[in-house]
Amino acid sequence: MREHFLSSSVEEWGETFAVNTTAMWHLSGAFLPLLQKSVYGGNIILISSINGVHWSASSCTPSYAASKAAANHLTKVMANKLRGLYIRVNTIAPGMFPSEMNDEESVKRWEENGTVKRIPAGRLGTAEEMGSAAVFLATNGYVDGQVLVVDGGRSLTASGS
């Protein structure tokens, strides 16, 4: 959904939130009974986006950024509500990674317009780096209610571009 917020419908806005925020709440709730049975406590790891932390007009729509920011806040609310049940909730907010959403055409455009060069790491992220972030959140029992930004330092240099 690459719409301008003034031209988007209420239905389009709602669809974006349903996919990016409400689905996280529903899925987490569906697994809650199973997580409560764990002797060691449960662990929920959600996936959001750097666009929920730092919005870039050139990279996403207002509804996408707002829905991801809401998902990031949902992480903190859920972690607070589930703390007495020993269920941790954290989120990974990835930056620029190749994916189904970020296809070869998108990656080529980022390389051509200099976006990749503005990432301090000098490259896009890898699946292994996303996996490492998830393993960290899954194994570190002292991290709860956090949004882990995995963006190669892009949010350090992004200034609304």
> Which among 49, 63, 64, 67 is annotated as catalytic?
64
68 has catalytic annotation: yes
The rounded distance, in Å, linking the Cα atoms of 93 and 31 is 21
DSSP H/E element including 91? strand 87-94
Torsions phi, psi for 42 (to 5 deg): -105, 175
Q: Look at residues 46, 87, 97, 45 and name the one whose alpha carbon lies nearest to residue 68.
A: 46
132 has catalytic annotation: no
> Which among 48, 49, 63, 67 is annotated as catalytic?
48
The rounded distance, in Å, linking the Cα atoms of 142 and 145 is 10
Which residues are identified as catalytic? 48, 64, 68
